[in-house]
Amino acid sequence: MYFSVNVTTFLDTNAIIWGEKKAVIFPKKGEEYTYKDLLSLTNSVANGLKKLGAKKGDRIGISLVNSSEFLICYFAIWRIGAVCVPINPNFKKEELLSILRDAEVSLFITNREVHDKIADEIEDIIVVTSFSKLLKNRKEFQAENCSLNDVCSIQYTSGTTTTPKGAM
């Protein structure tokens, strides 16, 4: 049996089907999350993003190392119907700024180190450097109704022949 699930409702579906089964494991940090855990944490972050003014169609940059925080934020961005723009945290200042501007990012989730690289250049972007602040609103969240054709992510190419370009 096949049925279509968009990215905003992916976690709901899997939390119902798989519930207490492990969804993701981060062995280096000793972290494990069930589908229900992942949905709950994602809803908290989605509520936090909404509280900051994020809405459907907004482009939200995320520049974190591979971690549970990255994954949870990625899903939360999708749940509010926003477009996720992942950015390599090892990029230099010019590369970060180029992507933030080209993608027209309105909110940027990153760590203090990345923020400090670009802080003097991004007055018009809301920057979140505290994951725990995003988790404060622990309540249910109704995922935004998105079409299977809505853009959910803009991935930037490596730019081997010219400057990186956003691919939807």
- Please write down the HEC assignment for all residues of 65-134: CCCHHHHHHHHHHHHCCCEEEECCCCCCHHHHHHHHHHCCCCEEEECHHHHHHHHHHCCCCEEECCHHHH
Instruction: Give a yes or no: residue 141 inside a domain.
Output: no
Higher per-residue pLDDT: 4 or 154: 154
Domain count, the chain: 1
pLDDT digits (tens, 9 = 90+) for 104-140: 999 999 999 999 999 888 877 888 888 888 888 778 8
Reported as a pLDDT band with limits 50, 70 and 90, residue 142 is confident
* Rounded Cα gap, residues 145 and 87, in angstroms: 26
Instruction: Give a yes or no: residue 156 inside a domain.
Output: yes
Reported as a pLDDT band with limits 50, 70 and 90, residue 1 is low
Average pLDDT over every residue of 162-166: 83
CATH number for the domain harbouring residue 77: 3.40.50.980
Reported as a pLDDT band with limits 50, 70 and 90, residue 146 is confident
pLDDT of residue 35: 96
SS3 assignment, position 33:
strand
Indicate if the pLDDT at residue 3 is higher than 70: no
* Rounded Cα gap, residues 57 and 60, in angstroms: 9
pLDDT of residue 159: 74
pLDDT of residue 41: 95
Instruction: Give a yes or no: residue 143 inside a domain.
Output: no
Structural domain boundaries, residue 114: 10-135+149-167
Closest CA relative to residue 39, chosen from 63, 9, 6, 80: 9
pLDDT digits (tens, 9 = 90+) for 30-86: 999 999 999 999 999 999 999 999 999 999 999 999 999 999 999 999 999 999 999
* Rounded Cα gap, residues 26 and 6, in angstroms: 25
Instruction: Give a yes or no: residue 5 inside a domain.
Output: no
Query: Could you tell me the pTM of the whole model?
Result: 0.89
